[in-house]
Structure formats: C-alpha cells, structure tokens
Structure 1
Amino acid sequence: MRIAILGGTGNIGRGFALRWGQKHDIIIGSRNAEKAEAFAGEYKEILEDRGYEAHITGTDNKTATENAEIVVIAIRYNRLQSLIDLITPVIDEQIFISVVVPMEKNLCYISPNAKPRTVPISSDQFNTDYFCFTMPEAGSAAQEIEKMLPAGTELVSAFHTVPAKKLANLELELNYDIGVCGSSEYSKKLVFELVEDISDMRPLDTGPLEASAMLESLTPLIINISARNNMKDVSIKFI
C-alpha cells in the first residue's frame, strides 16, 4: 500500500516510516518538502542497512496526500484546520488515520458542552505538572477531523497509545494492544492489518469513530503515569 505520513518528520512519524517501510511504499509529508526528502532519505538508509528494499520518499503534505491510498495524520491538534484546508482539493477516496491527541499541560478536563479554555489552578493547592485531555467541542480530535474532511471520506482513529521512541527502535518487539475506532468495517480492517504489520501488536475494535475520545484520553494518562512513576515509554496490554 502507498501510505502518506503527514507529520512524518516527527517522532511518531519516524516510527511508522521505519516499521511500515519494511513492507509498504511510504511517503513522508511535511510543510517543507526539502525537510521531508531529507528525513525520507535517512529512514530509507536505516532500513536498507538492515537488508530491506525500502521505498520511502518525501514531499509536501498536499502532494503526499494526493499520491497515497492511506493517509496518516500525525500532527499537533492546533494545526489540523490549516492542514485539512491544504489537502482537501486532492482528497479522492483515500482512507485517513488520525493519531492526533488534543491535550495540554496544566489544563482541566473540558466538558463536551464547553469550548476549550485554559483553567488556572493554584500551584500552592495542587501539583499541576501533568497533562490533561482537552475535549474538543465535537467530542474528539477524530470527530473534529471528520467534520473538516469532505463528506464521505473514511476516517479511522488509532495508535494513540504507542510510545514513539520504542516504535522507532527496530530492535524491539512491541507486545502492545492498539485500540481502533471507526465507522467503516472496510477501513477498520485495513488499519487492523497495518497494526499487525508491526511486530507483536494486536488490534482491538474499540467502537465507532464517536468512541475516539476514550482512546485519545489515554495518551495524557500514559504520559502522566510514566513521568510520576519513573517508567519510560509506557503502553497498554489487555490481559
């Protein structure tokens, strides 16, 4: 499959490229095409040194989307609107995967009926050094993306609990469970296959796209647990 990774020069993008580049054609997307090309060359060299015939290229986000069958959105939540506006003219039956998490440091949980806003917390009353899921008005980042994309575009939400550093470390087998949310069984099946392409990962159906908030909120939880308990790159396994 031809997989575009928008934000492919970031930490999580690196891991996806190195893991999927062993079996699929990867297009690294970035706001800067030259930067994407440089990172693509680096990823390709790493895989070729390990004996893989890697097909990894780099370009701007719009071109990457245009030439892909599957598009992974791996950017910051606050950059979503500008990215979707950019790529909308070239969207044509691609399947999208969102790994986006709306979270901030030192913010309180935002209810579905409230617009996101900073809530100051007195540091002399609470230890505020933590990350918190900030629920968008639509309910989740995935649902926000769904509203931005052209009607009928298939979108799946997944990979929110994958530690980026371990994903990029090809020496590791990743015995993790990956929740997958989506309203199309066909798209979910494709994402299940991509999960299974990565070492020992196991995909689990966690419901329709509307259930994505539960997955997205796990990311700040995992980060907080890691930071407060001297654990590195924590993930999830259901036993």
Structure 2
Amino acid sequence: MTTNATTTETEIALLGGTGEIGRALALRLGRDSDYALTIGSRDERKASEAAEDYRSRLRDRGVEPHLGAAENVDAAADADVVVLSIPPYYADETVETIAPGLDDETILVSPAVGMQRDEDGLHYHPPSAGSVIEMIADVAPDDVPVVGAFTNLSGERLADLDVEIETDTLLLGDDEDAKETVATIADSIRGLRPLDVGPLTNATEVEALTPLLINLARYNDDMENVCVTFH
C-alpha cells in the first residue's frame, strides 16, 4: 500500500461530496495528494457511504487516502478549505448554514455555474449578483475569502482514474493568498494546471464557458467530456 505524493496539513471539506464534481475531486486528490479530505453532505450517512466507496476505489489502486465523512456543518467547521461542490441553487443557503463555523483562516471555493436547459442545449443563467461565485461572496462572512476554481471541468472525466487528464482550471478571487492556496491544491492533481484570471468580477466570463463546453460535447461525437487547455 502506497501513500500519496504530496504531504500537507491542510484539511479540505468537499461539501456535496457525493455528487459528480465532489466525487471527482475526492478521487483525484485522494490519489495524487496527501490532503486530509472530508466528504460532506446534508445527510451524514450518505456522506459516510460515499467516503467508504471512494476509499475502496483508491485502495484498489494501492493508495490509502486520508478520507473522512461528516454532515456539511461539521465538515466545514473543521476544514481549512471548503469546496462547495453543490448545485448553485443550494449555494447561498449552504453558506449561510455553515457560516458560524467559518473564520478568516477558512477559504471557500466554488466550482458552481448557473445554467438553464432547453431543447437546443444549456445556456448560462447567472443569479442577480452577476455570477454564482459573487453570490457566494455576498452571503459569506466578510472575513472569509472566496475563490472560484474547478468550474469548467468535466466531473465524469475527472472521476475516471483510468483517464490521464491534461487540462486547465481557471482561478478567480480577490485575496491573493487564498488563490495561491487553491492553486497549490489544484496543482497537486496530476495533469491539472491552475491559471489565475483575476478578481471575482471576472467570474461571468469563466462561468459562461461551462455551458459552451457541454454544448460542444452534445453536438460533436468526438468531444465527449471536452476540456480546455490554454496555449
């Protein structure tokens, strides 16, 4: 049994860690790094079942991950970095629920994108705040930095550990230290390159890429689970 490559004391909570992007990040980080990960859910039993499934998958690959489970509130309170891997329509409510356990040493990360579907495809549908990440920043405690990351990734592709990825993730945030911390986490995933695209006010341009990529995959048979690399 091997241990992971990167050693760190940073604790990461993946709220909504039973969903597609949460599962993908848990498996990739669990394989490629030594971060302490906690799968969060509104239902602690669901979180525990998911965590056991992820541990089993990683052990089958010879990796013993640092992977626990808890209800969202408890997972966030014990974490240094909280990834809101949840649908955007739950984001503000979730942040308000976990806010008492956050402080200025906590970083909130959001990969969420507001979208609407019709017969032609998916379309960007931001909230009134301008973007999902700006909405989260509006409801988060003032001293808690917020970073946008992992936004345009295919959760299905990322969760398949048999696939070697080579893709970029775009980082947004107003706190440079927080962005650097998240960049280090992203960089620990083999084949994933973090790129800084500025403050939160640039979020609409980043979030709007997601429905474009999904529509590309829908209308082009050779672009299933398409990703973006910048040159």
Q: Normalized against structure 1, the TM-score is what?
A: 0.88
Question: Unaligned stretches of 5+ in structure 1?
Answer: 107-127
Asked if the contact 1:174–1:198 (Cα under 8 Å) also holds between the matched residues in 2, the reply is no
CA distance in 1, matches of 2:133, 2:17: 19
Asked if the contact 1:158–1:215 (Cα under 8 Å) also holds between the matched residues in 2, the reply is no
**C-alpha root-mean-square deviation of aligned residues, in Å?**
1.1
Where in structure 2 are the equivalents of 1:117-128 lying within 5 Å?
128=119
1:39 matched residue in structure 2:
50
2:226 matched residue in structure 1:
234
**TM superposition shift of 1:135:** 2.1
Question: Unaligned stretches of 5+ in structure 2?
Answer: 1-9
**TM superposition shift of 1:8:** 0.2
Q: Normalized against structure 2, the TM-score is what?
A: 0.91
CA distance in 2, matches of 1:17, 1:169: 12
Where in structure 2 are the equivalents of 1:105-144 lying within 5 Å?
105-106=117-118, 128-144=119-135
2:3 matched residue in structure 1:
none
Work out whether 1:18 is the aligned partner of 2:30: no
**TM superposition shift of 1:32:** 0.3
CA distance in 2, matches of 1:199, 1:169: 13
CA distance in 1, matches of 2:41, 2:126: 26
Asked if the contact 2:92–2:135 (Cα under 8 Å) also holds between the matched residues in 1, the reply is no
Where in structure 2 are the equivalents of 1:121-200 lying within 5 Å?
128-200=119-191
1:103 matched residue in structure 2:
115
**TM superposition shift of 1:50:** 1.3
Asked if the contact 1:99–1:158 (Cα under 8 Å) also holds between the matched residues in 2, the reply is yes
CA distance in 2, matches of 1:189, 1:16: 18
Q: Over residues 155-202 of structure 1, what are the superposed CA-to-partner deviations in whole Å (9 max), with x where a residue is unaligned?
A: 100111111111111122211011111111111111111111111111
2:98 matched residue in structure 1:
87
Aligned amino acid, residue 60 of structure 1 = E
CA distance in 2, matches of 1:139, 1:88: 22
CA distance in 2, matches of 1:160, 1:42: 24
Asked if the contact 2:186–2:192 (Cα under 8 Å) also holds between the matched residues in 1, the reply is yes
